Amino acid sequence: MTIAIPLPWYEEKTYEQIRALMVDGEHFTAFAAWESDALRTEAFFAAKGETTERIYVEPAAFTQWCEANGRKADASGRVAYATWAARLRGRQP
C-alpha cells in the first residue's frame, strides 16, 4: 500500500462557503492565494519523494462528518477529516 499524505483541498466554487462555516475562517486567504500555497505544499512533498492525496472538502459532507464525530470545523477537524477520507480510500493505515 502506498501511504499518502492527505491534504484538505477546496474547490473555488465552494471556497467562500467553506470559509463561512469554519470557526477559523477569518484566517483563510483568498482562493488564489490558498491554491498557490497548496500547490507549493504538494511540490514540497513531491520533491522529498512523498506522495500526497487531495481530499476535497465539500461543505455539507464536512459539516455532517464534524457533527457525527464531535469535531469542530477548524484546522484540526480538517486534518482529521482528510485522514479519515484517505483511510476510506486505503491510503492511510
Specify the pLDDT at position 2: 72
Q: What is the DSSP string of 49-70?
A: T--EEEEE--HHHHHHHHHHHT
Say if 38 falls within a structural domain.
yes
**Domain housing 52:** 5-88
Number of domains in the chain: 1
Mean pLDDT of the chain: 93
Residue 57 included in any domain: yes
Closest CA to 54 of 3, 2, 4, 7: 7
Determine the pLDDT at residue 27.
94
26 sits in the region (left: phi over 0; alpha: psi -120 to 50; else beta) called alpha
Looking at the domain assignment, is residue 93 inside a domain?
no
Which three cell numbers, joined as nine digits, stand for 55? 481530499
Looking at residue 75, its pLDDT comes to 95
Taking residues 40-46, what's their average pLDDT? Answer: 97
Q: How confident is the model over 48-90, as pLDDT tens digits?
A: 999 999 999 999 999 999 999 999 999 999 999 999 999 887 7
Q: Residue 3: its pLDDT value, please?
A: 84
Q: What is the rounded distance in angstroms from the CA atom of residue 51 to the CA atom of residue 48?
A: 9
Question: What grid cell was written down for 36?
Answer: 498557490
Task: Taking residues 6-34, report their average pLDDT.
Answer: 96
Question: What does the pLDDT read at residue 83?
Answer: 94
Ramachandran quadrant class, 78 (left: phi over 0; alpha: psi -120 to 50; beta: rest): alpha
